[in-house]
Amino acid sequence: MHSGRSYSRWRLLMVPPRFGAENMARDSALQTRAARTGETVFSVYSWSKPTLSFGRNQPARGRYDLRKIREAGIDIVRRPTGGRAILHRREVTYSVTGPVDEAGSLRDTYARINRILQKGLSRLGILVEAVPRSRERTLSGVRSCFETPSEGELVAGGAKLVGSAQWRENGALLQHGSILVADDQSSLPDYSASASREGESIPAPATLEALLGRAPGAEEVANAMFEAVRTLEDPDATELPEDEVRRDALERVPHFVNEDWTWRR
């Protein structure tokens, strides 16, 4: 990724629903691939089973009730990027991986990826804006990633629609995030280890369903985002077959199913 229009090659990846550990393993594999190939990949995917994901360094041990989560039929995974908890059920996830050479600061690339997201959402008929820089409030306990928008995150009508986080390692970046189709995030307090937080009310996020009056599928969202990539970054962006990265992804799955990683904090 470079300033202005990118001269690096972009690839586009639409992945069928996979379980949480494989989704995270694939993002990790794509990040490693970016450092090796110099290609930037914009991928869109969904989840084969409802999954609660924790941010890379989010405290979770002793704050979430594993029994409640399992009884609800929800899987658990920890993301390689930061941020707070997300319930992946009625949402679409995107990821961007690319080399960091000449990519600019984390803030610059975050804003640049935001422009793609904004362009893609506008193709769906939704106008969003980025939250300006401000003094952020620290939240603790069982909190949703969508409860309070942070600087640079995308909101519609003041409510957060897209939650994103970026991680850089070994010469490559990974940014991924969720675009909410409907609101499942308000249920997160129900899985708290603290009985006093059960049923706690938290602010409702924005959703595609509420904004459009219908629930677009992952393929429709992906097509809008891919056209945005071609418009803003690389008019010759081509599809990346999942087979090119899946073997490497599957080799990384054990890391993301390891309880020591999931409950590292």
Catalytically active residues, by annotation: 145
Pairing of strands 10-14, 238-239: parallel
Phi/psi at 221 (nearest 5 deg)?
A: -65, -45
In whole angstroms, what is the distance from residue 187 CA to residue 38 CA?
40
Question: SS3 for 248?
Answer: helix
In whole angstroms, what is the distance from residue 221 CA to residue 14 CA?
10
Question: Which neighbouring-strand residues pair with 192?
Answer: 64
* Rg, C-alpha atoms of the chain: 17
In whole angstroms, what is the distance from residue 21 CA to residue 19 CA?
6
Structure tokens belonging to residue 80: 């390689």
| Of residues 110, 106, 80, the one with CA closest to residue 20 | 80
